[in-house]
Structure formats: structure tokens, C-alpha cells
């Protein structure tokens, strides 16, 4: 497994692979790798002949400098996981190289995809995500890229970017991976302080309660309202949103429409750690 830090070296390494007609698949991450990331790598291994993983904590997508500064960094174990999973090349760039100098993100507007929910709670977040993904796509030039449904809104934003600016690239969405107790895996989970995990687990249990209640015939609005109350009452949990959406548009879903695959989405802060989760209705 090669580990490359400079984008000029990466371009050279990939040129050789393309010359050998290898199909390049790309898994962008911010490191602190876990099983969720590993599942993306495994999917990529199935679909392409050469897997590039990037590890880069992108400064322009953070709306809270405290979150950026405390973002976990575990490069040695990340490289170990990447090697075990059969990654061919790991790209670990510096911000100056990715951004050609000062890190800065252009404003982007994909309607509700960038302005609702995560976009509203974290203004500028998707500008930073789009900027870094566009730059990484241009550097790596993969034939397909792999993203998790864990970050459902981000996945849909990137699908939109792909259609608009990289029409020949395949964007592959991969299922959300959970810990055995149901908590959606996230690099930030290691920052949940001891004794607070049970409160965090309420997020997933409320999603499931709402899903089951709706399947049993309760109106979407009523199921959401009930679970919002439960989460708002849960100690150490600050609920940000709990909603049902059409994932293509991030329009709220109220249960009347018959088409599409509506998702329940939720965001909450537990002991200072912001967590998001979702499930298919």
C-alpha cells in the first residue's frame, strides 16, 4: 500500500495505473477510521481494480472551530485498517496543497439540499464539503466514488455535484453501519464521555419507534411529534431536528405522497458531541 502526501506525486502514481487500464475507485474520509469507513472500502474493492482512500480533515466544512480542533486524529491505526482492508493507495494531503494556498470555499446553492436541515444548522458546511470533494475529484479523477448513507444529506449533495460537474463518474451510496448496540458509527463517537452513551442510544431507538409506529398506521406527523417529545425530554440530549424527508429533494414528507423512499433523519448534540442518524421509512 502506497502512502502519498503531495498531489503531484499522486497524479504521477495514478497516471501509471490508468496507463495499465486500472479502474480507480475513491473513498474520501476525514480519518479516525472505523467499520463504517471499512464498509466503503470493501464495496470499492468489489467494484474497481484500484482503491484510493483519502484522509483529510477539511477545514472549510467546519462551522465550529472547536469541533475542527478536537476532530480525532489516529493516522497510524487508520493506515493499519486501510492496509488490512486492501486499500491500494492512501492520500494524506496538507490543506495548502488541496487548496493551492488559503483554504476557502465558494458559495453553492442546490436548493433545499444545501439549505435545509444540516445546511440550516451548519451554515457554510456544504460549501466546504462541495469545495473539497470537487478538488479531490479533480485530483484523483476516479471512475467511481463511495460515500455513506450515514451522511444522507451529504450523499445527496454529492450526487448533485456529480451530475452537474462530473457526469461520467459513478457515485455509489453505501449503507449505514452501526455498533452492536445500535449507535450509528461515527469518528466523533470516541468523544462521547463515559456514561453518556445510553443517552446517545436514544437517538436510534426513537428513530425505530417512529418507523414502527408509522408502519403500524400512526400518521407521520404524530409519530414524529411523539418521538421529538421523548428526545427533548432525554437528559443530556439537545435535539436539533427530527423529520421525515424525501431524500432526493430534502422536502419534508408528511405521508401523503406515494412515490419515493422517505427517510427519517435526526440530529442531536449529546454531551457536546453532535450526532446524526437516519433510517429508511
Q: Nearest to residue 36, comparing CAs of 196, 189, 246?
A: 189
Question: Would you say 38 or 243 has its CB closer to ligand AMP?
Answer: 38
Is 61 near ligand AMP (CB under 6 A)?
Answer: no
Is 186 near ligand AMP (CB under 6 A)?
Answer: yes
Total number of residues that touch ligand AMP (CB under 6 A): 17
Q: Which of 90, 184, 266, 270 binds ligand AMP (CB under 6 A)?
A: 184
Q: Which of 56, 62, 147, 253 binds ligand AMP (CB under 6 A)?
A: 147
DSSP one-letter code for 191: G
Select from 115-123, 181-189, 197-205, 226-234 the region that touches ligand AMP (CB under 6 A). Answer: 181-189
**In angstroms, what is the minimal distance from the CB of 145 to ligand AMP?**
9
List the beta bridge partners of residue 26. 52, 145
- Give one word for 182, left, alpha or beta, with left for phi > 0 and alpha for psi -120 to 50: left
Is 29 near ligand AMP (CB under 6 A)?
Answer: yes
Question: What is the rounded CA–CA span in Å between residue 186 and residue 177?
Answer: 9
Is residue 255 within 8 Å of residue 214, measured between CB atoms?
yes
Question: Would you say 10 or 155 has its CB closer to ligand AMP?
Answer: 155
Residues between 115 and 144 that touch ligand AMP (CB under 6 A): none
Q: Nearest to residue 127, comparing CAs of 110, 112, 106, 155?
A: 106
φ, ψ of residue 23 to 5 degrees: the values are -90, 125
Question: What is the rounded CA–CA span in Å between residue 187 and residue 232?
Answer: 24
Residue 248 to residues 25, 26, 263: CA-CA distances in angstroms?
24, 23, 10
Question: What is the rounded CA–CA span in Å between residue 64 and residue 59?
Answer: 10
Q: Which of 156, 187, 189, 278 binds ligand AMP (CB under 6 A)?
A: 187
**In angstroms, what is the minimal distance from the CB of 178 to ligand AMP?**
7
**In angstroms, what is the minimal distance from the CB of 229 to ligand AMP?**
27
Question: What is the rounded CA–CA span in Å between residue 143 and residue 147?
Answer: 14
Q: In the complex, which residue's CB is closest to ligand AMP?
A: 148
Given 34, 37, 125, 160, which residue is catalytic?
Answer: 37
DSSP one-letter code for 113: H
Q: Which of 4, 10, 40, 161 binds ligand AMP (CB under 6 A)?
A: 40
Is 157 near ligand AMP (CB under 6 A)?
Answer: no
236 is catalytic: no
Longest dimension (CA), the chain: 59
Is 151 near ligand AMP (CB under 6 A)?
Answer: yes
Is 52 near ligand AMP (CB under 6 A)?
Answer: no
Question: What is the rounded CA–CA span in Å between residue 246 and residue 256?
Answer: 12
Is 36 near ligand AMP (CB under 6 A)?
Answer: yes
The residues binding ligand AMP (CB under 6 A) are: 29-30, 36-37, 39-40, 147-148, 150-151, 174, 176-177, 184-187
What residues act catalytically?
A: 37
Amino acid at each position: 500500500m502506497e502512502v502519498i502526501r503531495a498531489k503531484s506525486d499522486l497524479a504521477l502514481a495514478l497516471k501509471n495505473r490508468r496507463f495499465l487500464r486500472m479502474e480507480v475507485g475513491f473513498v474520501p474520509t476525514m480519518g479516525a477510521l472505523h467499520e463504517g469507513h471499512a464498509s466503503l472500502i470493501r464495496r470499492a474493492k468489489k467494484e474497481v481494480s484500484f482503491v484510493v482512500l483519502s484522509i483529510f480533515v477539511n477545514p472549510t466544512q467546519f462551522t465550529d472551530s472547536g469541533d475542527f480542533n478536537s476532530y480525532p486524529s489516529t493516522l497510524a491505526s487508520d493506515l493499519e485498517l486501510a492496509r488490512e482492508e486492501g486499500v491500494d493507495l492512501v492520500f494524506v494531503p496538507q490543506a495548502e496543497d488541496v487548496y493551492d494556498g488559503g483554504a476557502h470555499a465558494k458559495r453553492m446553492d442546490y436548493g433545499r439540499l444545501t439549505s435545509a436541515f444540516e445546511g440550516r444548522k451548519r451554515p457554510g458546511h456544504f460549501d466546504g464539503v462541495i469545495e473539497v470533494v470537487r478538488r479531490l475529484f479533480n485530483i484523483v479523477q476516479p471512475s467511481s466514488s463511495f460515500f455513506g448513507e450515514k451522511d444522507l444529506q451529504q450523499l445527496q449533495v454529492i450526487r448533485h455535484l456529480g451530475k452537474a460537474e462530473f457526469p461520467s463518474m459513478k457515485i455509489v451510496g453505501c449503507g449505514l453501519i452501526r455498533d452492536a448496540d445500535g449507535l450509528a458509527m461515527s469518528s466523533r463517537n470516541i468523544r462521547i464521555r463515559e456514561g453518556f452513551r445510553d443517552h446517545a442510544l436514544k437517538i436510534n431507538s426513537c428513530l425505530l419507534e417512529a418507523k414502527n409506529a408509522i408502519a403500524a398506521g400512526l400518521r407521520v406527523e404524530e409519530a414524529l411529534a411523539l418521538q421529538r417529545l421523548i428526545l427533548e425530554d432525554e437528559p443530556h440530549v439537545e435535539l436539533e431536528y427530527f423529520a421525515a424527508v424525501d431524500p432526493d429533494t430534502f422536502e419534508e414528507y408528511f405521508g401523503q405522497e406515494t412515490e419515493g423512499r422517505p427517510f427519517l433523519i435526526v440530529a442531536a448534540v449529546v454531551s457536546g458531541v453532535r450526532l446524526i442518524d437516519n433510517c429508511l421509512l
